[in-house]
Structure 1
Amino acid sequence: MPSQEVGLPIPNIPHAVSVTLPTWEANIAYEEGEHWVTSKMSSGYPRFYIHSSIRQLCRKLEAKYGREGEECLVFPSYKVAKRCREFLKSHFEGKIRILQLSTPEPVSDSDKSIQVGATFGVVFFPKSLFPLAKSYWQHSGEVVSSRMGEYILKSLFTGPKSKTKQELQAQKIQSRSPSIRASRSSASGCFNDDLETEFDTFIEQKFGRVLDLKFANEAKRALRRRICGKVDKSCNQIEEIEKSKRGKYLSESDVYLFPSGMASIFYAHHALFNILPAGKSVCFGFPYVDTLNILKKFGPGVIFLGLGDDSSLLQLEKDLEEGLKIMALFCECPSNPLLKTPNLKKIKELGEKYDFAIVVDETVGNFINIHVLPYADMVASSLTKVFSGDSNVLAGSLVLNPLSRYYAKLKKFFNTNYEDLFWDEDALWLERNSRDFVERVHKVDNTSEKVVNLLLSNPKISKVYYPSVSPSRHHYDMIKTQDGGYGGLISFVFHKPSDAIKFFNSVDLYKGPSLGTNFSLACPYSILAHYQELDEIEQWGVDRNLIRISIGLEEPEDLLQVLEKSLEQ
């Protein structure tokens, strides 16, 4: 049964990416920093809550390398640490130091199974700047994962880890794997059906839950190919005349992995800022909070079109006709939490006419349900969500459209500047988690439609937000794949706020941040994501008492029964 204990990880494992906030009151208390909640927090979403292993690592680094009055924060590379320093210096004129450190490289082949050389950056700053440094961590998503922090801590401060008998046996099993051997010799390019089947099973887990770091690069290649194989289906929908313009197809080399979904959006903005004339970007539609923060706090600023509807697009077109210059347009498809779908076809037409780039975050729709690549220059996704499902790894991806008019410039920039910051052990976990991604998506889609019908029929509920019942459905249907559904995210509002509180407090589901988990997950979204701006968000149609549910893999009848029981409260 879902735990209702405040602060417990969801799931209850060391590297969980969600945390239990089981009541309306607990969510408010968390936002207000009340001790009865914050003192019990043993976990949290990794961009907002710094994992205990990372905090412990920072304390060790401060003791060894710090100066009086300093704190530090670790980042996955020296370049990222420099970006953090630049951000801090834009707000502070004092001294900020960076230290680059590395863990020992493996010496022998057997060491490669449990050891990897990791080079990372440490930013030292006055203690008063910690909230600002943490805001860079949160907004950029360029974070050290809890597994990476744990590894560095053990490697630098508790000595090398010895292989257990179990790990040695697992290594022998994996080295014999025919799919591992095949992966080393297969040609590059997108999956065909045979390759996809091969890679979907290639890191065999025949011996417990041991992961062999020696195969991390192959796991990453499998992930890029898996993403490429799914996204490329959208590329294949492009008219033949468009294909012939470039004569290129999406390949695994156009898929880039990141330590979080937000890092992929941040890096998309960073890349465009470096290859295009500097200018404001448009945030089209009410987005997840840190997408807007990135556009606000990094670069020349943002034009926020929060309604994200056809009228907003007409006004943008008018402003562009009158001389408005923008660098890029960022949007979600569909948006979180209102599940609106932008008119991507029209946005693409405007982008071509007025020369701005288009970045689409398809996390909520996911690339099994929708194909947005033909309408975007870059497609970002949080792999933490339904692609992983298990709520135990943070990851993101960014796909370059090879038919984009900016492709050559983007490719040159990525070839020169992109760093693989995705921690090896996280890659191994994600590869395994995502093998049944397609089947899970279809099950979630089917269950979600049943839940939507239940909510629509309940007289206590005033509004249901879901792509299939949205006024923007025709825009969603334009990009929906042949076998795709409408996703697993549903938001709704009660007529009476008191009914929302009663429902949330009584519903027997996991309750915390995140979405796309294999278990259904609920939260009072506005309270959790926008508590300090509840009046402001209402102008964009976001009700302060909105509840969001991410549908999981429970049997539909069981989930419907749980929801019906709470709706009767």
Structure 2
Amino acid sequence: MGFSILPPTEVGCPIPENTPHAVSVTLPTWEATVAYEEGEDWVVQKMSSGYPRFFVHSRIQELCAWAEQRYGRPGECAWAFPTFEIAKRCRDFVRARSDHKKIRIMQLTTPHNDEGVPPVTIVFVFVPVALKPICKQYWQHTGEGISSRLGEFCLEEFSVIPKTDGHVKDYNAFHGSKFEEKVSAKPISESAEMQTFVEERFGRNLDGKFAAEAKEALQKRISSQIKHCSQNDVFLYPTGMTAIFSAHRAILEIAGDHKSICFGFPYVDTLNILRKFGPGVHFLGNGEDVDIDEVERLCKEEKILALFCEVPSNPLLKTPDLKRLRALADKYNFAIIVDDTVGNMLNIDVHDYADVVASSLTKVFSGDSNVMGGCVVLNSKSPWYSKFQETLEHQYEDTVWGEDAIYLERNSRDFAERNSHINQNAEAVVELLEKSPLVKKVFYPKTAPSKHHYEAIKTENGGYGGLVSIVLNDEDSAKRFFDTLQTAKGPSLGTNFTLTCPYAILAHYGELDFVESFGVDRNLVRISVGLEPKEELIRVFEKALSVCQ
């Protein structure tokens, strides 16, 4: 395993290159990242890809343009969603933030075809063009917009574009009713009856009709790694943010309209969800042990709905004291919802403390940066378990597009092997960075002040993950280091290749003073370490550091 570092360097190029449904995009310099945030044409006009919740894929843009031309009214724009219930949530979100109450919803169904693929329903929300930014907020925060592969499928079925061989439609690649699971060495363990896919042997893609089997395989693969968990406790979602949003929707229905607590500095849209959907949030952005006293003070003053946290946090890699938080949750009757994306289920086990775990499967679980996915996992030992199960039974809609499930299943077969390799590479990179006098601070679970909290949840064979953040001695050094570093550069993390970004600039450009008050330096560089040969990786980082001397 491992490959040479040959990152794309052209502004706006998909990461990986030549990948129609890539989930990252090349922003090769600090200047280009700033220009992207400021909407400068020399960057924005070259964007052929982007992180899907922020950048509407060209196929989805084409589908919406077709709907606008055919069914729209003057001054309207269209947004596409996979179900009527999601479209209604978007409509309600827009109505709550505007004076426009006449927002149209239109549902279309693709025609029957000769390939055995059942008709697909697509739902358009038509809003005045002036309200487009509000629709985009809903799209970004919740991740509930349609997948680019679904958009492409609908374009073909509605005869907007010619059909291609790009879809997972090679029926001859499936041999028989049984699948032979291609997995790596332990700890991925699945039963002998576990069905799997064989299309990789023949260099073909599997028939899209077997999406249900792909989803079942994903549920089994995930549940096999988690104690107190069965296949039925795993709920699949099209994005990690959708998983978090769905957990939030569920607890709101279960326990009523009360504020939650966001403990620690989280990924930007987790906080957006808690702020914009429901009664609001208490934000304890430092997430230190001392802040747990504030959690208890809040619980004494008011009913708390749930506590949301990341383990470890992105980008500061802090691990909260879950044991103490669990004790408070039991005492004051609130739920703990943990996002374990950065740590991942192979490295850490939070189920002794969390009632619900939400994860982005887009990241290291997939690794290939060509498909989105997420999951919610319920803890069967939780006092909230039966209420979450009952609520999700009627709230849950399976909106994972079948083709995406097939890619996700295929990508994740060697999850354990890749995770182990990434853990080792990241430790080597951290060792180098910590020795450098040019690096003022390294953020990493193994070296953080909260290391003992991480160790308490670390699995027997787990490591510390592939995410590292650093602050160099000054802004000029940070820019030179980043511009020189020969890795892929753009949004996302957990990719099979090393991926770097100036995180605060990319995620918080409009609120740099605010994030710095919680320890996120405006010149912080976030590094997601990949599978490259360790020696080559070290050389690349040594070279980038050398220009800062």
TM-score in terms of structure 2 length: 0.94
SS of 1:179's partner is coil
Amino acid at match of 2:207: D
Matched, 1:40 2:35: no
SS of 2:146's partner is coil
Matched, 1:20 2:26: yes
Amino acid at match of 1:296: R
The answer (yes or no) to whether the contact 1:177–1:204 under 8 Å persists in 2 is no
Q: How does 1:148-547 map to 2 (within 5 A)?
A: 148-158=150-160, 161=163, 170-176=170-176, 178-179=178-179, 193=189, 195=191, 198-199=194-195, 201-232=196-227, 235=228, 250-321=229-300, 323-547=301-525
Q: 1:144 aligns with which of 125, 146, 167?
A: 146
CA-based RMSD of the aligned residues comes to 1.9
Which whole-Å CA distance do the structure 2 matches of 1:532 and 1:299 have between them? Answer: 24
5+ long unaligned stretches in structure 1: 184-190, 236-249
Which whole-Å CA distance do the structure 2 matches of 1:436 and 1:491 have between them? Answer: 26
Amino acid at match of 1:424: G
The answer (yes or no) to whether the contact 2:194–2:217 under 8 Å persists in 1 is no
TM-score in terms of structure 1 length: 0.91
Q: CA deviation at 1:93?
A: 2.8
Task: Give the aligned partner of residue 3 of structure 1.
Answer: 8
Q: CA deviation at 1:177?
A: 5.8
1:413-462 CA distance string (max 9 Å, x none): 11112100000000000000000000000000011111101000000111
The answer (yes or no) to whether the contact 2:311–2:343 under 8 Å persists in 1 is yes
Which whole-Å CA distance do the structure 2 matches of 1:466 and 1:197 have between them? Answer: 39
The answer (yes or no) to whether the contact 2:252–2:278 under 8 Å persists in 1 is yes
Task: Give the aligned partner of residue 246 of structure 1.
Answer: none
The answer (yes or no) to whether the contact 1:211–1:425 under 8 Å persists in 2 is no
Which whole-Å CA distance do the structure 2 matches of 1:53 and 1:204 have between them? Answer: 26
Task: Give the aligned partner of residue 104 of structure 1.
Answer: 111
Amino acid at match of 2:171: Q
Amino acid at match of 1:369: N
Q: CA deviation at 1:6?
A: 0.3
Q: CA deviation at 1:159?
A: 7.5
CA 1:150 to 1:478, structure 2 compared with 1: closer, same or farther past 3 Å?
Answer: same
Task: Give the aligned partner of residue 240 of structure 1.
Answer: none
Amino acid at match of 2:128: P
Which whole-Å CA distance do the structure 2 matches of 1:379 and 1:534 have between them? Answer: 29
Which whole-Å CA distance do the structure 2 matches of 1:408 and 1:104 have between them? Answer: 40
Amino acid at match of 1:501: K
The answer (yes or no) to whether the contact 1:143–1:260 under 8 Å persists in 2 is no
1:181-206 CA distance string (max 9 Å, x none): x99xxxxxxx994527944x434323
CA 1:540 to 1:152, structure 2 compared with 1: closer, same or farther past 3 Å?
Answer: same
Task: Give the aligned partner of residue 238 of structure 1.
Answer: none
Matched, 1:83 2:89: yes
CA 1:155 to 1:300, structure 2 compared with 1: closer, same or farther past 3 Å?
Answer: same
Q: CA deviation at 1:178?
A: 3.5
1:34-66 CA distance string (max 9 Å, x none): 111111111000000000000000010011111
Q: CA deviation at 1:401?
A: 1.1
Q: Decide which moves more: 119-128 or 332-341.
A: 119-128
Which whole-Å CA distance do the structure 1 matches of 2:40 and 2:164 have between them? Answer: 42
SS of 1:451's partner is helix
SS of 2:327's partner is helix
Which whole-Å CA distance do the structure 2 matches of 1:395 and 1:197 have between them? Answer: 25
The answer (yes or no) to whether the contact 2:261–2:283 under 8 Å persists in 1 is yes
CA 1:97 to 1:194, structure 2 compared with 1: closer, same or farther past 3 Å?
Answer: closer
Report how many residues are paired.
536
SS of 1:283's partner is strand
Q: CA deviation at 1:68?
A: 1.1
CA 1:464 to 1:478, structure 2 compared with 1: closer, same or farther past 3 Å?
Answer: same
Which whole-Å CA distance do the structure 2 matches of 1:394 and 1:280 have between them? Answer: 29
Amino acid at match of 1:518: N
Matched, 1:567 2:545: yes
Q: CA deviation at 1:158?
A: 3.5
Which whole-Å CA distance do the structure 2 matches of 1:106 and 1:402 have between them? Answer: 42
Which whole-Å CA distance do the structure 1 matches of 2:239 and 2:188 have between them? Answer: 27
Which whole-Å CA distance do the structure 2 matches of 1:7 and 1:435 have between them? Answer: 30
Matched, 1:50 2:29: no
Q: CA deviation at 1:163?
A: 7.8
Q: Decide which moves more: 470-479 or 413-422.
A: 413-422
Which whole-Å CA distance do the structure 1 matches of 2:410 and 2:168 have between them? Answer: 17
CA 1:193 to 1:501, structure 2 compared with 1: closer, same or farther past 3 Å?
Answer: closer
Identity, % of aligned positions: 54
Q: 1:125 aligns with which of 116, 124, 127?
A: 127
Which whole-Å CA distance do the structure 2 matches of 1:504 and 1:401 have between them? Answer: 41
SS of 2:125's partner is strand
1:513-537 CA distance string (max 9 Å, x none): 0000000000000000000000111
The answer (yes or no) to whether the contact 2:190–2:221 under 8 Å persists in 1 is no
The answer (yes or no) to whether the contact 2:168–2:208 under 8 Å persists in 1 is no
The answer (yes or no) to whether the contact 1:196–1:226 under 8 Å persists in 2 is no
Task: Give the aligned partner of residue 187 of structure 1.
Answer: none
Q: CA deviation at 1:69?
A: 0.9
More helix by proportion, 1 or 2?
Answer: 1
5+ long unaligned stretches in structure 2: 1-5
